[in-house]
Amino acid sequence: MCFRLFACWEEAFFFLVIVVVTLMGQGMLSGLGDGNSIPDVARYPLLTAGIGLTVMANFAAMFFFFGKMRALIESASKGDPFIPDNARRLNAMAWLLLSSQVLTVIVGELRVFAFSLIDPQSKNTFDISPNDLAGFLIVLVLFILARVFRHGAAMREDLEGTV
Q: What is the largest CA-CA distance in the chain?
A: 73
Per-residue pLDDT, 43: 75
CA–CA separation, 94 vs 139, rounded Å?
5
pLDDT of 13 reads: 74
Whole-angstrom CA distances from 44 to 34, 37, 40, 114 are 18, 11, 6, 8
State the 10-residue block means of pLDDT for the chain, 163 residues long.
60 70 51 54 76 86 90 88 91 95 86 77 72 87 95 84 70
- Residue 95 has a pLDDT of 97
- The pTM assigned to this predicted structure is 0.71
Q: What is the model's pLDDT at position 22?
A: 58
Which candidate, 51, 55, 149, 53, places its Cα nearest to that of 94? 149
